[in-house]
């Protein structure tokens, strides 16, 4: 396959440049650490608060919500290497001060971490 070429061998030329809203943004990586947020201007002039680092999660226990300290990232179903880097993303299982919990939201999009308790810590 000749990528970006016609059958004759000639090049395909772009008709126009990408518009600002078509351009890809920098990847937002949420890691474990002291809470750090960033504000990004989005289409329409609105502002989105993005999370870059955090050490606190809102954990749901039954019908109550409680703040808990994140100790470590145990596993990530998407990629095992992301757990080693302590990356917080949807579906990741984290070890909190209350016990093991699964992240239910997308921290890189919403600016906070929500989780559901899986296993309570034994005292």
pLDDT in tens, 53-71: 999 999 999 899 999 999 9
How many CA atoms does the CB half-sphere of 65 hold within 13 Å?
Answer: 6
* The overall pTM is greater than 0.85: no
Q: How far is CA 105 from the centre of its chain?
A: 8
Total tally of structural domains belonging to the chain: 1
In a domain, 91, yes or no: yes
In a domain, 20, yes or no: no
Range of the domain at 114: 28-120
In a domain, 82, yes or no: yes
Arithmetic mean of pLDDT, 83-101: 94
In a domain, 67, yes or no: yes
In a domain, 16, yes or no: no
Q: Are 94 and 101 in contact (CB under 8 A)?
A: yes
Arithmetic mean of pLDDT, 15-20: 89
Length of the chain: 123
- Distance between CA 77 and CA 88 in Å, rounded? 12
In a domain, 86, yes or no: yes
Q: Which domain CATH number covers 36?
A: 3.10.290.70
Q: Are 76 and 91 in contact (CB under 8 A)?
A: yes
In a domain, 39, yes or no: yes
């Amino acid at each position: 396959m000749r990528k970006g070429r016609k059958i004759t061998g000639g090049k395909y030329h772009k008709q126009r440049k990408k518009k600002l809203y078509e351009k890809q943004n920098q990847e937002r990586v949420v890691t474990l650490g002291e809470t750090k947020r960033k504000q990004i201007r989005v289409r329409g002039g609105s502002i989105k608060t993005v999370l870059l680092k955090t050490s606190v999660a809102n954990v749901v226990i039954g019908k109550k919500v409680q703040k808990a300290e994140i100790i470590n990232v145990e596993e990530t179903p998407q990629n095992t290497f992301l757990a080693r880097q302590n990356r917080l993303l949807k579906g990741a299982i984290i070890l909190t001060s209350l016990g093991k919990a699964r992240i239910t939201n997308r921290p890189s999009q919403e600016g906070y971490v929500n989780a559901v308790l899986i296993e309570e810590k034994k005292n």
